[in-house]
Chain A
Amino acid sequence: SQQGEEDPQALSIQEGENATMNCSYKTSINNLQWYRQNSGRGLVHLILIRSNEREKHSGRLRVTLDTSKKSSSLLITASRAADTASYFCATAPYGGATNKLIFGTGTLLAVQP
């Protein structure tokens, strides 16, 4: 069952600009994670934010979480061509099995050099 819905579905920006992607979900969660997927490759974990956290940073990544609106955003600052990839949010449902993650449909980010 789909939990996360990313918005926009696709995003094209110039190198150096910031990229913002949003994720909405339906049920209560333990945590929310963001993953990156380079074309046709496996997903790579980027960052995890717990349900009691509102903001988290990791390098050029900034994630926010609003549990009242059931939404999260991923901000990539000063984007680079190497950031071109699909980005997925994944939620760990509250009370769900350990390691159970539900993935959204992803945002395709293209960073033009």
Chain B
Amino acid sequence: EAQVTQNPRYLITVTGKKLTVTCSQNMNHEYMSWYRQDPGLGLRQIYYSMNVEVTDKGDVPEGYKVSRKEKRNFPLILESPSPNQTSLYFCASGGTGANVLTFGAGSRLTVL
């Protein structure tokens, strides 16, 4: 089944404790992206990647890092999480030339 898999789905952590949210897709998509969703603000793009080793900032990249060492994986790294990063995070992927995105099920992160 074609899908985007995120882990963990739920995480409660404390300020400053580094964490990684993994994202993997099995559709051989070149494009991958991370969004955060907050009430009243819709989805805002954090980082995106056009292909392996090619990443770029989205609209709200501060406090986040990403890497794209393999085509299928695009982890989101929070080096020193803060409470304002409490949010629902989505990973998405898309094929070349197409704008349609396939989303993961989401990762709800709480930073205390």
The residues of A with any CB-CB pair to B shorter than 8 Å are: 1-2, 4, 30-31, 33, 35, 40-45, 48, 88, 92, 97-106
Contact = CB atoms under 8 A, between A and B. Distances in A.
B97 to A, nearest CB: 6
Given A33-B100, A40-B108, A105-B42, 14 more contacts: A31-B99, A33-B99, A42-B104, A42-B106, A43-B101, A45-B100, A88-B43, A92-B99, A98-B99, A99-B94, A101-B101, A103-B35, A103-B43, A105-B40
A42 B90 contact: yes
Interface in B21-70: 31, 33, 35, 40-45, 48, 50, 56, 59
A2 to B, nearest CB: 7
Chain B's interface: helix, strand, loop or mixed, by majority?
strand
B48 A100 contact: yes
B106 A41 contact: yes
**Chain A CB within 10 Å — which of B33, B59, B101 has the most?**
B101
B105 interface: yes
A99 B48 contact: yes
A99 B43 contact: no
Interface string B70-96: 000000000000000000101010101
B98 interface: yes
B105 A99 contact: no
Nearest to A3: B42
